[in-house]
């Protein structure tokens, strides 16, 4: 059997190097061929570095995607929470407006606004059978607005009493009425003025006026105004006794 041996071409210089270094001599072409086949350390290191960079970039992209998803989820949750809060606030505001409207209706039920034309009928004539309190005011006055609100509370509190409550624009009732005199509370009984109480200071001032200060001040002149139910019943009983005494006497 014949053995085939690969023939290699050598030069005279190759033979000299072979004689000098022996088998340790390797041709440069062979070295390059081996390096290309196996890959040099520098090439391998560069390839490993590229792979590492690619893996890091891919990890960074995954991290960024996770962060984006978390941010989107947070924004969605926050938006839903804000919408729920806004709906709740709108509902609360509507309920407050409804309650305020109902309160105003109840207040206005007990305080009648009267004009100049209505004065005789609603004030003078009514005072012949009931005590009447008339509040004279003007627009754009803090003192008038405050006392007006307190008088509405007074009217609501004593709505079962015999006292009737009226409100009017001062200049509509009395032309050229001094602005410094408003607010003015007029006590009417039996067709006549019992007393004019001028200024909010008479009721405790801007910081002190309330339903009780108004009641005390009004009753300083006559306890017939702003009676509670018990007082009125006692008053009626006293009148009946006086009639019976007069009849039997």
Please, are residues 146 and 185 in contact by the beta-carbon 8 Å criterion? no
Q: What is the mean pLDDT of residues 155-159?
A: 91
169's CB contacts (< 8 A; 6+ apart) are 136, 137, 138, 139
Helices (H), the chain: 12-21, 28-38, 41-110, 119, 142-157, 170-173, 211-219, 229-248
Q: What is the mean pLDDT of residues 60-83?
A: 76
The residue with tokens 């990890």 is 59
Paired residues of 184 in beta bridges: 136, 198
Distance CA 181, CA 135 (A): 12
pLDDT tens-digit readout, 1-55:
444 544 555 556 555 555 555 554 445 555 455 555 554 555 555 555 655 555 6
* pLDDT score recorded for residue 49: 61
Least confidently predicted of 21-25, 63-67, 122-126:
21-25
Q: What is the mean pLDDT of residues 222-230?
A: 87
* pLDDT score recorded for residue 220: 94
Q: Is 32 exposed, middle or buried (0-12, 13-18, 19+ CB in 10 A)?
A: exposed
* pLDDT score recorded for residue 71: 79
Percent of the chain with pLDDT over 70: 67
53's CB contacts (< 8 A; 6+ apart) are none
pLDDT tens-digit readout, 228-241:
878 878 877 887 88
Please, are residues 106 and 118 in contact by the beta-carbon 8 Å criterion? no
* pLDDT score recorded for residue 18: 57
* pLDDT score recorded for residue 141: 95
Q: What is the mean pLDDT of residues 188-212?
A: 96
Q: What is the mean pLDDT of residues 214-219?
A: 96
Q: Is 142 exposed, middle or buried (0-12, 13-18, 19+ CB in 10 A)?
A: exposed
Full-model pTM: 0.56
């Amino acid at each position: 059997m014949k053995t085939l041996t690969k023939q290699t071409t050598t030069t005279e210089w190759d033979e000299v190097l072979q004689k000098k270094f022996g088998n340790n001599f390797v041709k440069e072409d062979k070295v390059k061929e081996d390096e290309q086949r196996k890959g040099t350390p520098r090439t391998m290191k560069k390839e490993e570095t590229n792979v590492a960079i690619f893996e890091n970039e891919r990890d960074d992209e995954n991290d960024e995607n996770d962060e984006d998803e978390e941010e989107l989820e947070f924004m969605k949750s926050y938006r839903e929470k804000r919408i729920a809060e806004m709906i709740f606030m709108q509902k609360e505001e509507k309920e407050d407006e409804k309650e305020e409207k109902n309160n105003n209706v109840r207040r206005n039920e007990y305080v009648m606004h009267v004009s100049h034309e209505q004065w005789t009928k609603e004030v003078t004539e009514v005072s012949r059978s009931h005590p009447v309190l008339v509040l004279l005011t003007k627009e754009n006055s803090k003192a008038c607005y405050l006392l007006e609100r307190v008088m509405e509370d007074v009217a609501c509190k004593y709505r079962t009493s015999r006292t009737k409550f009226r409100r009017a624009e001062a200049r509509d009732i009395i032309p050229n009425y001094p602005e410094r005199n408003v607010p003015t509370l007029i006590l009417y009984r039996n067709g006549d003025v019992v007393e004019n109480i001028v200024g909010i200071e008479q009721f405790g001032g801007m910081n002190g006026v309330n339903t009780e200060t108004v009641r005390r001040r009004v009753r300083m002149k006559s306890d017939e105004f702003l009676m509670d139910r018990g007082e009125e019943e006692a008053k009626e009983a006293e009148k009946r006794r006086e009639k019976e005494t007069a009849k039997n006497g």
